Chain A
Amino acid sequence: MSKEIIYLDYNATTPLHDHVLLNMTDLLLSWGNPSSIHLSSRSPKAILRETRKKIADYLKCSTLEIVFNSGASEGNNTVLKSVWSTYGFDNPFDHKIKNEFIVSQVEHPSVLKTMQYLETLGAVVHYIPITRTGEMDIQFIKSHLNEKTALVSVMMANNETGNVFPIKEIAALVKKNNTLMHTDCVQAFGKINFDFEDLQIDYATFSGHKFYALKGCGVLFVRKNSPYINLIHGGGQERSRRGGTENILAIASFGLMLDQLSEIEKQQLRILELRNYFENEILNKIHHVTLTGHDSTRLPNTSSLVIKGCDGETLLVSLDIQGFAVSTGAACSSGNPEPSPTLLAMGLTKAEAQNSLRVSLGWMTTKEDIDLFITELIKIVARLRSLSTEEVLHV
């Protein structure tokens, strides 16, 4: 469909930045295999080298600590399975067994599902609770860290509520226990500035398509000397740490976006103002709306709402018909009959999760977009509530 949409689902993926779009045709000419010796490999080799350098400069780390892969799901799998293979039962290194993990209850499925898989192999996983207002229970981490803890994995920011977790504080605790620390930076990267070096973590995962680049490029930071075992064995790519011919086009687009990092500060403030305006307007103009995770530090772009009496799926479809793209934690047609585990973990009831809406703004969002969205949302909520059987909504 060619219809213009107002896109407010930046936490799912982002449109391509003009800087990426305009350079795409030139980049397509770098079709060579970077592993070759002949001339055609030169420009793809240069793309790999230069992008890696830019990332290392941004993270203030060595280029040797950067592995390109397909995305953060692969990165998260690599980290968790590497650590398990290194310290789990029957590890081939004669390491002392460390079979415990501590992860938050609201991690991305690529972490939670991997944990569930490792549990079947004997891993013991402690899930850190999060409150409805977005507070993480740091005391829980303290009380569960012990000599058997192999890894702590906490995302920097949550995809559904935007809650930003105190990674530096957690990493310090974890280091004291001589345990490895991983953070999934997918949602935070490009939305807020952070001093990566200062966090002192061992593994971090990033994804290009949440930052206006192409899909198919992820970055995994692995601190020097941290355990690492290939998820994908193959050719000698990525210093033999990730087999498979590199996705040069996506990596190049990621590199182009790294030239735009200086924009973050300005955009962050602009988007925060828009998000706060949106939330104030909605809370003033629609009754029976609550925010989730709003009492804690949040990404400036994310708003997680519960709109009583409005089924999330129906709300999404209604908005889409009118040309607005948003997201929900409701059980949807995605093959998952249960509503969002994140929202349920934060103490929302199933009914509340079913009535949830996620709005996430980005660099291309304008005040006009938000105004149009507010107007439409008010209309749709009024219609859905007029058809609802819940009495309270009609008053």
Chain B
Amino acid sequence: MSKVSSSKRVLVAMSGGVDSSVAAALLKDQGYEVIGATMQVWDYTNCDITEGSGTCCSSLDVDDARSVADKLDIPFYVLNCEAKFKASVIDPFIKAYLEGETPLPCVNCNTYLKFDHLVQKMKELDCDYLATGHYAQIVTNKNNQMVIKTSEDDWKDQTYFLFTIDPAIIPHLIFPIGHLKKPEVRQIAEDKGLVVAKKKDSTGICFVGSKGYDQFITENVDPKILETKKGLIKKFPTGEVMSNHQGIHLYTIGQSRGLGMTYHEKLFVIKIDPADNTVWVGDEKHLYYHDVKVVEPHLLQNIEDGQKLKVKIRYQHKSASAVAKKTDYGFDLHFEEAQRAVTPGQAAVFYSEEQHLLGGGWIKL
């Protein structure tokens, strides 16, 4: 493996998971001066999250990150980001649910913590680069610009969460595992004897944990406010009242289980109307849309009016082709094939044919 100049210092965001641990290990092998850091984003002292069980950044995970850093013989620090995390991730997360949307807190965490706060720390700590364990790659495009490309591992690709990155910082970023597939990453962890080699992948939302988001909302929102979120479940499109519900924050578009009623055909949540707290349910066919509004766009590269894009409308979505028409609020997307469960609060993320990340925005119906 080629060695970089020993003077290059890199700050690695380490969550205590296998991906960022291997990222740190690879950088060390490549000859960087590596400094590990975990962001402490949430005070876990008083909560009963089952730690280390598929969420990131809990206190046991901090121990794992520290143990990996010891093994690699690199400095390691826990940086307190609780206040910033609460203001820019947790509060908007709660607000979105209360407005009938399904939020995407990982994007905000990337926008305001990993690729803002940590970029600032990178500069302050006199580092040349910031590295993370994201499944994403940085390549040079035909205009000789450094751009973000999807990872080799299609299934794990995390570029969906990166569309708010400031393109100016891309030359300062390293994604050391983006060219690898997950089993290869685990193998490296095992070969290097890192304690996290067999650890479960993080899947859930780190601060919500195994108890579920609805429980999290209940514990963190004034009951008087939750009371105002109750309403009716109505059949779409007839308007027939089906039952009452305990709050719009308990529903998400496309959901069919846990609706709390029996009906002779399978019903899905089609639409949530925060204005009168109506949860609309109906036949699955109503979940399909050709046209999607995208607001508050953030672009890493220029997009022409009428350009054909590949678009992901949620993390585990296999992108679909759409034509983007510029509007005053952002973009109107017209998909070639109708898309299922287009969900407000989730992102629509744009890619080029070469899988380069072009940008994205937030879905409104």
Q: Can you list 21 A-B contacts with CB-CB less than 8 angstroms, sorted by A residue number? A: A1-B73, A1-B75, A311-B124, A313-B79, A314-B121, A314-B125, A317-B125, A321-B35, A321-B125, A331-B83, A332-B80, A333-B40, A333-B78, A333-B79, A333-B80, A335-B40, A337-B43, A337-B82, A337-B83, A387-B123, A387-B124
Give complex CA distance A365, B120 in Å.
33
Contacts of B125 in A (CB 8 A): 314, 317-318, 321
A49 at the interface (CB under 8 A from B): no
Tell me the chain A residues, 287-339 only, with Cβ under 8 Å from chain B: 311, 313-314, 317-318, 320-321, 331-333, 335, 337
9 tightest CB-CB pairs across the interface, nearest first?
Answer: A333-B78, A333-B80, A333-B40, A337-B82, A317-B77, A314-B124, A387-B123, A335-B45, A384-B124
Chain B, 112-137, CB within 8 A of any chain A CB = 120-121, 123-126
Q: How far is the CA of A14 from the CA of B12 in the complex (A)?
A: 31
Q: How far is the CA of A321 from the CA of B123 in the complex (A)?
A: 14
Residue of A nearest to B74 (CB): A1
A285 at the interface (CB under 8 A from B): no
Decide yes or no: A318 and B124 within 8 Å by CB, A1-B75, A313-B79, A333-B40 being known contacts: yes
Q: Would you give the 0/1 interface string for B73-93, flagging 1 where the beta carbon is closer than 8 Å to chain A? A: 101011110110000000000
Q: Map CB proximity to A onto B51-80 as digits: 1 under 8 Å, 0 otherwise.
A: 000000000000000000000010101111
- Distance in angstroms from A375 CB to nearest chain B CB is 15
Chain A residue at minimum C-beta to C-beta distance from B86: A337
Q: How many residue pairs, one in A and one in B, have C-beta atoms under 8 Å apart?
A: 41
| Cα of A318 to Cα of B124 in the assembled complex, Å | 8
Q: Determine whether the beta carbon of B80 is less than 8 Å from that of A313.
A: yes
Chain A residue nearest in CB terms to B123: A387
Q: Interface 1/0s, chain A 360-395, versus B by CB < 8 A?
A: 000000000000000000000001100100000000
List of A residues within 8 angstroms of B78 by Cβ: 333
Give CA–CA (A314, B80) in the complex, Å: 10
Interchain nearest-CB distance for A320 vs B (Å): 7
- Please give the residue numbers on chain A whose beta carbons come within 8 Å of chain B beta carbons, in ascending order: 1, 311, 313-314, 317-318, 320-321, 331-333, 335, 337, 383-384, 387
Which residues of chain B are near A317, meaning CB under 8 Å?
A: 77, 79, 125
Which of chain B's residues has its CB closest to A315's CB? B124
Other-chain contact of B43, A318, A321, A335, A384 (Cβ < 8 Å): A335
A120 and B83 alpha carbons, distance in the complex (Å): 28
* Contact (Cβ within 8 A) B40 A321: no
- CB-CB nearest in chain B for A318: B125
> What CA separation (Å) do A1 and B74 show in the bound complex?
8
A147 to B65, CA, bound (A): 55
Say yes or no: B45 contacts A318, CB within 8 Å: no
State A335–B40 Cα separation when bound (angstroms): 8
For A333, what are the chain B residues with a Cβ–Cβ distance below 8 Å? 40, 77-80
A335–B46 alpha-carbon span in the complex (Å) = 11
Taking CB atoms, residues of chain A closer than 8 Å to B45 are: 335
Report the bound CA distance from A311 to B123 in whole Å: 13
Contacts of A332 in B (CB 8 A): 80
Complex contact B80–A337 (CB within 8 A): yes
Considering the complex, which residues of chain B in the window 19-57 have a beta carbon less than 8 Å from any beta carbon of chain A?
35, 40, 43, 45
> How many Å lie between the Cα of A331 and that of B82 in the bound state?
10
CA distance A384 to B122 in the complex (A): 11
Complex Cα distance A320/B124, Å? Answer: 13
Residue of A nearest to B121 (CB): A314
Q: Report Cα–Cα, A296/B197, bound state, in Å.
A: 55
What is the bound-complex CA distance between A337 and B35, given in angstroms? 23
From residue A328, how far is it (CB to closest CB) to chain B in Å? 11
Question: Cα distance A321–B126 when bound, in Å?
Answer: 10
In-complex Cβ contact of B126 among A313, A331, A383 (8 A): A383
Distance, CA A314 to CA B35, complexed state (A): 13
Q: What CA separation (Å) do A317 and B79 show in the bound complex?
A: 9
Q: Chain B nearest CB: distance from A32 CB in Å?
A: 35
Sample of 13 more A-B contacts, CB < 8 Å, known A311-B124, A314-B121, A314-B125: A313-B80, A314-B124, A321-B35, A321-B125, A333-B40, A333-B77, A333-B78, A333-B79, A335-B40, A337-B80, A383-B124, A387-B123, A387-B124
Complex CA distance for A317 and B124, rounded to whole angstroms: 10
When chains A and B are docked, how far (Å) is the Cα of A384 from the Cα of B78?
19
Rounded to whole Å, the gap between the CB of A392 and the closest CB of chain B is 18
A66 to B233, CA, bound (A): 73
How close is B284's CB to chain A, nearest CB, in angstroms? Answer: 46
User: Which residues from chain A contact B79 at a C-beta distance below 8 Å?
Assistant: 313, 317, 333
Report A380 CB to chain B, min CB distance, Å.
8
Rounded to whole angstroms, the CA-CA distance of A311 and B77 in the bound complex is: 15
Closest partner residue, chain B, to A330 (CB atom): B80
* A321 to B124 CA separation, bound complex (whole angstroms): 12
CB contacts (< 8 Å) of B35 on chain A: these are 321
A387 touching B120 by the CB < 8 A rule?
Answer: yes
A383 contacts across to B, CB distance below 8 A: 124, 126
Asked if residues A320 and B80 are in contact (CB atoms below 8 Å), the reply is no
